[in-house]
Structure 1
Amino acid sequence: MNNILEMLEKSTALYPEHPALSTGEAYLSYQEVTRQARCVGSAIASYTSVRKPVIVFMDHSMDCIVAFLGVVYANDFYSFFNSELPDERLRIMADTLDADLVITDVHHKEQATQLFTKETVITFDELVAREEDADLLSSIRSQAIDTDPLYLNFTSGSTGVPKGVLIGQRSVIDFIPIFDDLFHITHDDILANQAPFDFDVSVKDIYSTLNVGATLVLVPREYFSEPARLVDFLDEQKVTTMIWAVSALCLLSVYKALDYKVPAYVNKILFSGEVMPYKHLKNYMDHMPHTMFVNLYGPTEITCNCLYHIIDPSRDYSTYLPAGKPFPNERVFLLKDDKLVTEVYEPGEICVTGTALAIGYYRQQSAQFRQNPLADGYHEMMYCTGDLAYLNEQGEFVFRGRKDFQIKYLGHRIELEEIDHAILEDEHVTRSCSLFDQEKEKLITFYIGDIDKRSLKIALMDRLPRFMIPTKMIQVEDMPLNKNGKIDRKALMEVYKNANRRHR
């Protein structure tokens, strides 16, 4: 396979009338998705040359996925711009891309025209109405190769400028069939899409579906604030597979949605983005004993995931949940001072090599992509994740936290995640996020739970040394989430700082 479109075309040949994409109220068959994508691709080719970025500024919709595929038919690469982001950030992202074309929908056309003044802005409806040019598409495909770029997702940059992570065709072509085989995703599955399209969890949703001829159901955004309605929707759509962010799964658990109803058809739940709190995992396992649960690990820069662990129902995960072992054809190892870490329980930085690696950051250089120091005498690109881990006695990787979440406080090196882990051992706490105010040298913890701050501090004294007990504990009703569904640490720090200003 040299192009991800072969996944779509294979499934279209086998299951032309089968629903490929669905909203629960409407659907597009494989035959219709392919027809529309080819029309869109033919039109795009008249606006830009090959291997160029195309901005997709649309609602989270079936049309949006068709637009992605149309961009690929034109042998360009797509970047989804989330309309919920601030205008200034969107402009910075657009300046980085310097794209010729923006695809939008009627709902966002006015905003797109104001935001993207240097680019040609055209609606999806205009593109899909064009006639397919089969000869043009054939000519474009004949010149495409598997190292061509496929999509670009922006991540936060330490300088304040978002970094565009560019992923190539080969990375997805290699990863997705292995992913489907490992976790038994087949034509009979119905996947529920939770992740926004600028979060790479959605890459697994889209291409795992297309690869096997399954159905992808887009969960309405508003249902995530109504857990009972969300569970009803999963049941009504007969969803079998959930590849979701940890925070989204915790939402159902915190609000006891599984006590209301257990989704009857779900047999696979794969989660990533953060460490799954044990009490929430146990809650799911107690309610859904016959479901396969999988812990996934990996940053955007290595194409979705590089480590996985299938949960063993007979194993005790109360101490820690392993990130697991590498996916086939991915080399994952630990480095410390550029030396390979092989000793059990010795921490090191998680590093990755192989075809899963991103092409790199678009128009930016980074020391995180560099020569593998273990490759003697030949060039091998390596990505340094910035995440710390150790190997346990079973040879599994165990995540320890971010290098940048490791702080020095009162002369001690502390992992903020270790504090959260200890807090979450309390049965009255459902979520925890610890921060460090470097200026004032204070440890701060935000938590959700029905235990007062004083009692929680007393309980922590039995689990943590005194220097790890948070200076300030703030009880909240919910945690702010970023666009990727992870706890928004910056927003929490602002809450803390604003509270301090009011009390001056």
Structure 2
Amino acid sequence: MIKNVITAFDKVSQKHPNKFAYDYLGEQHTYHELRVNADRLAAHLLSLNLPKHAPIMVYGGQTFEMVVAFLAAVKAGHAYIPVDDHSSNDRLKMIQEVAQPPLVIAVRPLPVALTDIQVIDQDDLMALTEQELTAPLPSEQYVSDDDNFYIIFTSGTTGKPKGVQISARNLESFVNWQLADFYFPKHANVLAQAPYSFDLSVMGLYPTLVTGGTLKVLPREITDNFKALFATLPTMDLNIWISTPSLIEICLLVADFDSEHYPDLVTFLFCGEELSHKTAATLKKRFPKSRLYNTYGPTETTVAVTGVEITPALLERYDRLPIGYVKSDTQIWVDGAAAVGQQGEIIISGPSVSKGYLNLPEKTAAVFQQKSGWPSYASGDIGFFNDAGLLFYRGRMDFQIKFNGYRIELEELNFFLKQQKIVDQGAIVPRYNQGHKVTQLVALVVPAAGDPEDQQALTAAIKANLAKDIMPYMMPQRFVYRSELPLSANGKVDIKALIQEVNASD
């Protein structure tokens, strides 16, 4: 059992110093490099005398230096805030406004000037990680117990993102469960595809580093280019696959994505969105001897809290797959359900549940409480248990959705859409397929200038404005122009009516 993720990593790096910890498309770095570079940067962070436990923002992509910065921060006693380099300038500023970090480590150049904050840029980072340590790094400084380990910012309902605080104890609970309940062999080659601002990345990052494995990075520029993706995958020698179902569905389009061509790919772990029966059945047919797991969990509960192996028997029994059994140190109950099989809100309590949102006490109080000594989180997800103790997911209570594995607040998108002067009324709603999965974001817009003569130009203008405020994965794929939109009883655009309309049978 892992008692401290950082010291467990230190032990692995000392035992296997020459083993590769990180492989970015052939650019490889050893455990020794990772530990020494992190220790050197951590020593510098300690010399800055930053406010105790103040979080450090880390800006960049999926490079080795990002992980160096993460480990350096927690070794110096500070949580890190991963911010993806595809983030908009406004999002970067809003994260700074909420978190108030005293320092940002800019692994890649910042796209906008941030005021009242120290910056360690690329040149500084290179110089600092080349300096020799004058004394051993004191392990008593490491983040531990209820100290924040990382803070991931999710969508917010009013345009302002929320920072989910994950402590060292939260992370240890998750890592120990994953290593105990899933087939995660030591020294494995593990797919690292999710950006670090997406908590699915944690499912691979720390379980790999405490078991002496190698993180095999598949960056966004590869996954966005199918030709490059299908050329790269066979070269990665993967043992463990971690992704959303959306990525595997793309890979299954290729006939040679099977056990014959990937004989060492023994474990598939899915989280972030609903795994369809069709996708699981196809994958199980292609990889009959591999283990396939479906998992579930909000960011607020540290990646995942339920899991189940998808077997032929389970596929035969259920048309819509369960999201799993509850991890042993956690309690989940369905609020409002008086009996097995009844639906209600999924409430989660246990040692991997966050203490709440950073510097947002009112939003924290709205969904977090204490239960039997542990925090509990009201997920807003609808689900039910069957008589076998399996949990099933049945949608959202609010307007939060999952699209390509990313959690998106419709209210956040609509907030920014309605801020535009060229939009009189507007709403962005999801379109679902028969497997209850979001396949498209549709923007329904009443232009401020009336019926547009050039819809293509108007769409381009709206997209350009949205791009200043939202992440690329939030951008609507389809724009529909109307003279008016339906209103609810309180005079607001009726989102539910529009969702029903967009998803009505053609």
User: How far apart in 2 are the matches of 1:257 and 1:118?
Assistant: 53
The Cα RMSD (Å) is 3.2
Contact 1:278 1:317 in 2 (8 A): no
* Aligned-pair CA distance for 1:50: 3.2
CA contact (8 A) 1:151 1:167 kept: yes
Contact 2:57 2:82 in 1 (8 A): yes
The residue that corresponds to 1:357 in the other structure is 353
Secondary structure of 2:47's counterpart equals coil
The answer to whether 1:401 aligns with 2:395 is yes
Unpaired stretches in structure 1, ≥5 consecutive residues: 408-415, 440-479
Partner of 1:98: 100
Given that 1:154 and 1:162 are in contact with CA atoms closer than 8 Å, whether structure 2 keeps it comes out as: yes
Question: CA, structure 1 residues 233+438, in 2 after alignment: closer, same or farther (shift >3 Å)?
Answer: closer
Q: Helix, strand or coil: the match of 1:404?
A: coil
Distance 1:225 1:25, change over 3 A: same
- Residues 152-301 of structure 1: pairs in structure 2 closer than 5 A: 152-227=151-226, 229-254=228-253, 258=257, 262-301=261-300
Contact 1:186/1:213 (<8 A) preserved? no
Separation in 2, partners of 1:22, 1:274: 27
Query: How far apart, in 1, do the equivalents of 2:387 and 2:320 lie?
Result: 13
Report runs of 4+ in structure 1 exceeding 6 Å deviation.
434-439, 482-485
| One-letter code aligned to 1:13 | Q
Tell me whether 1:86 sits opposite 2:64 in the alignment.
Answer: no
Unaligned runs of 5+ in 2: 402-428, 447-466, 486-506
Q: Deviation string for 1:80-112 (max 9, x for gaps)?
A: 11121110111011111111111113x515x3x
Aligned to 2:119: 121
Q: Pick which of 358-367 and 126-135 moved more.
A: 126-135
- Aligned partners of 2:327, 2:8: CA distance in 1, in Å? 20
Distance 2:42 2:139 in 1: 11
Using a 3 Å threshold, how does the CA distance of structure 1 residues 163 and 61 change in structure 2: closer, same or farther?
A: same
C-alpha separation in 2, matches of 1:349 and 1:16:
47
* Distance in 1 between residues matched to 2:248 and 2:471, nearest whole Å: 13
Contact 2:61 2:195 in 1 (8 A): no
Matching of residues 467-478 of structure 1 within 5 Å: none
Residue-by-residue CA offset, 1:474-504 (whole Å, 9 max, x unaligned): xxxxxx9x9999x74x625xx34x444699x
5 Å-filtered alignment, 1:18-33, equals: 18-33=19-34
Amino acid at match of 1:398: F
Contact 1:87 1:115 in 2 (8 A): no
Q: CA deviation at 1:258?
A: 2.9
Corresponding letter in the other structure for 2:102: D
Q: Specify the alignment match of 1:309 in structure 2.
A: 308
1:263 CA drift (Å): 2.7
Q: Does 1:391 align with 2:385?
A: yes
User: 1:370: Cα distance to partner?
Assistant: 3.3
Please say if residues 349 and 389 of structure 1, whose CA atoms lie closer than 8 Å, have aligned partners that are also in contact.
Answer: yes
Contact 2:355 2:368 in 1 (8 A): no
Superposition deviation, residue 245 in structure 1: 1.3
Contact 2:259 2:265 in 1 (8 A): no
Aligned equivalent of 2:503: none
The residue aligned with 1:67 is 69
- Give the deviation of 1:349 after TM superposition: 0.8
| Distance in 1 separating the partners of 2:442 and 2:391 | 25
CA offsets per residue over residues 128-182 of structure 1, 9 Å max, x none?
13332535534524xx541111000001111221000010001111220220222
Structure 1 residue matching 2:109: 3-state secondary structure:
helix
TM-score (norm 2): 0.77
CA distance in 1, matches of 2:438, 2:60: 33
Letter of the 2:31 partner, please give it.
Y
Contact 2:341 / 2:386 at 8 angstroms: preserved in 1? yes
CA 1:424 to 1:359, structure 2 compared with 1: closer, same or farther past 3 Å?
closer
For 1:256 and 1:406, the matched residues in 2 are separated by: 35
Alpha-carbon separation, structure 1, partners of 2:229 and 2:24: 13
Out of 254-263 and 65-74, give the one that drifted further.
Answer: 254-263
1:283 counterpart SS class:
helix
Q: Are 1:293 and 1:310, in contact at CA under 8 Å, matched by a contact in 2?
A: yes
1:390 counterpart letter in structure 2: F
2:460 maps to which residue? none
Do the aligned partners of residues 184 and 368 (structure 1) sit closer, same or farther apart at CA in structure 2, a change above 3 Å counting? farther
User: 1 CA distance for matches of 2:432 and 2:329?
Assistant: 34
- Alpha-carbon distance in 1 for matches of 2:266, 2:136: 43
**331, 343, 347: which one aligns with 1:347:** 343
| AA at the equivalent of 1:88 | D
How far 1:220 moved relative to its partner? 3.1
Q: Is the 8 A contact 1:2 1:145 kept in 2?
A: no
Residue number in structure 2 paired with 1:9:
10
Mapped to 1, the partners of 2:57 and 2:400 lie a distance apart of 36
**Contact 2:55-2:101 at 8 Å conserved across structures:** yes
Q: In structure 2, give the amino acid aligned to 1:371.
A: Q
Cα gap change, 1:101 to 1:304, in 2 (>3 Å): same
Change (3 A) 1:85 1:24: closer
Contact 1:371 1:379 (C-alpha < 8 Å) held by counterparts: no
* CA shift for structure 1 position 424: 4.2
Contact kept in structure 1, 2:75 and 2:139, CA below 8 Å = no
Work out the CA distance in 2 between the residues paired with 1:319 and 1:433: 23
SS at match of 1:159: coil
CA contact under 8 A between 1:39 and 1:131: conserved in structure 2? yes
Q: How does 1:37-56 map to 2 (within 5 A)?
A: 37-47=38-48, 48-56=50-58
Secondary structure of the 1:158 match is coil
2:84 alignment partner, SS class: coil
What is the letter of the counterpart of residue 330 of structure 1?
T
1:369 maps to which residue? 367
Find the residue that maps to 2:388 and give its secondary structure: coil
Using the TM superposition, name which of 117-126 and 195-204 deviates more: 117-126
Tell me the distance in 1 between the aligned counterparts of 2:196 and 2:395: 26
Shift of 1:14: 2.4
